[in-house]
Chains A and B, each alone.
Chain A
Amino acid sequence: MSAPRALVVRAPGTNSDEETVRAFETAGAVVDHLHLFRVLEEPDMLDRYQIFCVPGGFSYGDDLGSGVIFARHLSGPLGDALGRFLNADKLVLGICNGFQVLLKAGVLPGGADGWGANQTPKATLTWNESGRYDCRWVRLRNDRPDHAFLRDMPDVEMPIAHAEGRIAVSDPAVLKEWVANGNVALRYAARQGDLPEGGPTADVTLAAPHNPNGSFADIAGLSDASGKILGLMPHPERFQFAHQHPRWTRLGLTGEGAGMKLFRNAVEWFD
Chain B
Amino acid sequence: MLWEVEIRPAAGRRDAEAERAAELARGLGLSVEPTASARSFLIEGDLTREQIERDAVPLLCDSVIETAEVTACNAEAPRSAPAIGDGELLNVLFLPGVTDNVARSAKGALQRLNVPATNVASVRKYWVAPGADPAALDRLCRRVLANDSIEHVVRGQLTLDTLALGKPYRFEKIVVPLRGMDDEAMLRLSKEGQLSLSLAEMQTVRDHFAEVGRDPTDCELESVAQTWSEHCSHKTLAGPIRYEGPDGTVEFGNMLKETIFAATVAIRANLGDDDWCRSVFSDNAGVVHFEGEGDDEQCVCIKVETHNHPSAIEPYGGANTGIGGVIRDPLGTGLGAKPLCSTDVFCFASPTTPADSLPPGVLHPATVMSGVVAGVRDYGNRMGIPTVNGAVCFDDRYLGNPLVFCGNVALIPADKVAKKVSPGDRIVALGGATGRDGIHGATFSSVDLHEESESVSGGAVQIGDAVTEKMVADVLLQARDRGLYSAVTDCGAGGFSSAVGEMGEETGAEVHLDRAPLKYPGLSPMEIWISEAQERMVFAVPPENVAAFVALAESEGVGVAELGEFTGTGRLVLKYEGHTVADMAMAFLHDGRPHIVRAATYAPATVEPLALPDKSDWTDELLAILAAPNVASKEFIIRQYDQEVQAHSVVKPLVGEAEDGPGDAAVIRPLHASNRGLAVGCGINPRLGDLDTARMAESALDEAVRNVVAVGADPSRIAVLDNFCWGNTERPETLGSLVRSAVALQDYAVALGTPFVSGKDSLYNEFAYSDESGERQTVAIPPTLLVTAMGQVPDSGRAVTMDLKQAGNALYLVGETRDELGGSHLGLVLFQTGGTPPTVDAEAAPAVFAAVHRAIAEGCVRACHDLSEGGLAVAAAEMAFAGALGAELSVEHVPDGGDRLSDAAALFSESNTRFLLEAPAELTATLERHLTGVPYVKIGSVTDGDRLVIRGSDGSPLIDASLADLKAAWQSTFAGY
Q: How near does chain A come to B832, taking the closest CB pair, in angstroms?
A: 38
Measured in the bound complex, the distance between the Cα atoms of B62 and A120 in whole Å is 11
- Is A113 positioned at the interface, with any CB of B under 8 Å from its CB? no
CB contacts under 8 Å to B, within A74-111, are 76
Contacting residues, chain A, for B474 (C-beta < 8 A): 10
Task: Convert B764-790 into 0s and 1s, putting 1 for each residue whose CB lies closer than 8 angstroms to a CB of A.
Answer: 000000000000000000000000000
Flag the segment in B83-91, B401-409, B462-470, B698-706 that touches A.
B462-470
With contacts A13-B470, A121-B63, A168-B64 taken as known, whether A246 is within 8 angstroms of B655 at the C-beta atoms is yes
Q: Are A64 and B556 in contact (CB under 8 A)?
A: no
Residue from A133, A244, A250 within 8 A of B381 (CB atoms)? A133
**B493 → chain A closest CB, angstroms:** 25
- How many whole Å from B466's CB to the nearest CB in chain A? 7
Interface membership of chain A positions 229-262, coded 1 if the CB is closer than 8 angstroms to chain B and 0 otherwise: 0000001011011011011011000100000000
With A61-B101, A63-B101 as contacts: A37 and B555 at CB distance below 8 Å: yes
| Contact of A69 with B105 in the complex, beta carbons under 8 Å | yes
Task: List the A side residues contacting B377 at CB < 8 Å.
Answer: 133
Across the interface, which residues of B come within 8 angstroms of A200, CB to CB? Answer: none
CB within 8 Å of A: which of B795-822?
Answer: 796-797, 799-801, 803, 805
* Residues of chain A from 101 to 146 with CB closer than 8 A to chain B in the complex: 120-124, 126-127, 131-137
A247 to B655, CA, bound (A): 7
Which of B106, B109, B384 has the most chain A CB within a 10 Å cutoff? Answer: B384
Stretch at the interface among A15-23, A46-54, A182-190: A15-23
A165 at the interface (CB under 8 A from B): no
Q: A15 to B645, Cβ gap below 8 A?
A: yes
Query: In chain A, what residue has the closest Cβ to B654?
Result: A246
Cα A76 to Cα B60 in complex, Å, equals 16
Known A-B contacts A159-B644, A246-B655; A35 and B64 likewise in contact (beta carbons under 8 Å):
no
Q: How far is the CA of A68 from the CA of B112 in the complex (A)?
A: 13
Contact with B along A1-44 (1 / 0, CB 8 A): 00000000010110110110010000000000001011000000
A61 contact set on B, CB distance < 8 A: 101, 105, 382, 465-467
Would you call A15 and B384 a contact (CB within 8 A)?
yes
B543 proximal to A (CB < 8 A): no
The answer to whether A64 and B655 have CB atoms under 8 Å apart is: no
Partner of B382, one of A13, A68, A123, A235: A13
**With the chains together, A235 CA to B381 CA distance in Å?**
14
Q: Is the CB of B64 within 8 A of A60?
A: no
Q: For residue A65, which residue of chain B has the nearest CB?
A: B62
Please state if B650 and A126 are interface contacts (CB–CB under 8 Å).
Answer: no
Q: How far is the CA of A15 from the CA of B645 in the complex (A)?
A: 8
Cβ contact within 8 Å between A72 and B59: yes
Q: Are B797 and A161 in contact (CB under 8 A)?
A: no
Please encode chain A, from 189 to 224, with 1 for each CB lying within 8 Å of some chain B CB and 0 for all others: 000000000000000000000000000000000000
Please, which residues of chain B bring their CB within 8 A of the CB of A135? 639-644
Residues of B within 8 A of A249 (CB): 651, 655, 799-801, 803, 805, 862
Q: Tell me what chain A mostly uses at the interface: helix, strand, loop, or mixed.
A: mixed
Task: Look across to chain A and name the residue whose beta carbon is closest to the beta carbon of B650.
Answer: A243
B381 A170 Cβ-Cβ under 8 A: no
- CA separation between A60 and B102, bound complex, in Å? 10
A58/B467 in contact, CB under 8 A: yes
Asked if B383 is at the interface (CB within 8 A of a chain A CB), the reply is: yes
| A121 / chain B contacts, CB cutoff of 8 Å | 63-64
Known: A72-B59, A124-B65, A249-B799. A19 touches B641 (CB 8 A): no
Smallest distance from the beta carbon of A187 to chain B beta carbons, Å? 20
Contacts of A72 in B (CB 8 A): 59, 109, 112-113
Q: How far is the CA of A136 from the CA of B636 in the complex (A)?
A: 12
CB distance from A255 to the nearest CB of B (A): 10
Q: Are A63 and B59 in contact (CB under 8 A)?
A: no
Q: A57 to chain B: which residues have CB within 8 Å?
A: 384
Query: CA of A137 to CA of B655 in the docked complex: distance in angstroms?
Result: 12
**Nearest residue, chain B, Cβ from A166:** B65
Determine which of A64, A126, A238 lies in contact with B65 in the assembled complex, contact meaning CB atoms within 8 Å.
A126
Q: Let me know if A63 and B105 touch, CB within 8 A.
A: yes
A64 near B643 with CB under 8 A, answer no
Q: Are A35 and B647 in contact, CB atoms less than 8 angstroms apart?
A: no
| Nearest CB on B from A125, distance (A) | 9
Contact check, A63 vs B645: say whether CB atoms are below 8 A apart. no
When chains A and B are docked, how far (Å) is the Cα of A243 from the Cα of B801? 12
Q: A131-B20, A134-B640 are in contact. Are A58 and B382 (CB under 8 A)?
A: yes
CB of B16 within 8 A of chain A? yes
Tell me how many residues of A have a C-beta within 8 Å of chain B: 54
Query: Residue B557 at the A interface, CB < 8 A?
Result: yes
* Contact status of A12 and B557, CB under 8 A, knowing A57-B384, A243-B796, A249-B805: yes
Contact A64–B59 (Cβ < 8 Å): yes
Would you call B275 an interface residue if the criterion is a C-beta within 8 Å of the partner chain's C-beta atoms? no
Name A250's contact: one of B60, B470, B639, B805 (CB within 8 Å): B805
Q: Does A179 contact B (CB under 8 A)?
A: no
CB proximity of A38 to chain B, nearest CB, Å? 8
Are A15 and B647 in touch, CB under 8 angstroms? Answer: no
* B649 part of interface (Cβ distance < 8 Å): yes
Q: How far is the CA of A121 from the CA of B61 in the complex (A)?
A: 12
- Complex contacts, B471 vs chain A, CB 8 Å: 12-13
Contact digits for B31-73, partner A, Cβ 8 Å, 1 yes 0 no:
0000000000000000000000000000110111100000000
Closest chain A residue to B802 by CB distance? A249
Asked whether any CB of chain A lies closer than 8 Å to the CB of B415, the reply is no
Roughly how many angstroms separate A133 CA and B374 CA in the complex, as a whole number? 9
For the complex, give the distance between the alpha carbons of A148 and B833 in Å.
66
Which residue of B377, B378, B555, B645 has the most chain A CB atoms within 10 A of its CB atom?
B645
Could you tell me the distance in whole angstroms from the C-beta of A66 to the nearest C-beta in chain B? 10
CB distance B555 to A254 under 8 Å?
A: no
Q: Does A175 contact B (CB under 8 A)?
A: no
Within 8 A of A (CB), among B881-934: 883
Residue of A nearest to B104 (CB): A63
B865 CB–A CB distance under 8 Å:
no
Scoring B residues 104 to 123 as 1 if CB is less than 8 Å from chain A, else 0, what string do you get?
11101100110000000000
Q: Which of A69, A161, A240 contacts B645 (CB 8 A)?
A: A161
- Residues 4-41 (chain B) with a chain A CB within 8 angstroms: 16, 20
Judging by beta carbons under 8 Å apart, are B64 and A16 in contact? no
Complex contact A68–B640 (CB within 8 A)? no
Of the candidates B59, B652, B672, which one forms a contact with A22 in the assembled complex, judged by CB atoms under 8 Å apart?
Answer: B672
Identity of the chain A residue whose Cβ is nearest the Cβ of B110 in the assembled complex: A64
Q: Is the CB of B616 closer than 8 A to any CB of chain A?
A: no
Interface flags for B645-671 (1: CB within 8 Å of A; 0: not) read 111011110111101000000000100
CA distance A271 to B800 in the complex (A): 40
- The distance from the CB of B5 to the nearest CB of chain A, in whole angstroms, is 11
Residue of A22, A235, A254 near B644 (CB, 8 A) is: A235
A16 touches B645 (CB 8 A): yes
Q: Which residues of A contact B65 (CB under 8 A)?
A: 124, 126, 168, 170
8 contacts between A and B (CB under 8 A): A64-B60, A69-B108, A124-B64, A235-B647, A238-B644, A238-B645, A243-B797, A249-B803
In the complex, given contacts A13-B466, A68-B59, A133-B641, what are 14 additional A-B residue pairs having Cβ atoms less than 8 angstroms apart?
A: A15-B383, A37-B556, A57-B384, A72-B112, A121-B63, A126-B65, A132-B640, A135-B641, A246-B654, A246-B659, A247-B657, A249-B805, A250-B657, A250-B801
Sorted nearest first, the 5 A-B pairs with minimum C-beta distance are A15-B384, A63-B105, A19-B647, A124-B64, A61-B467
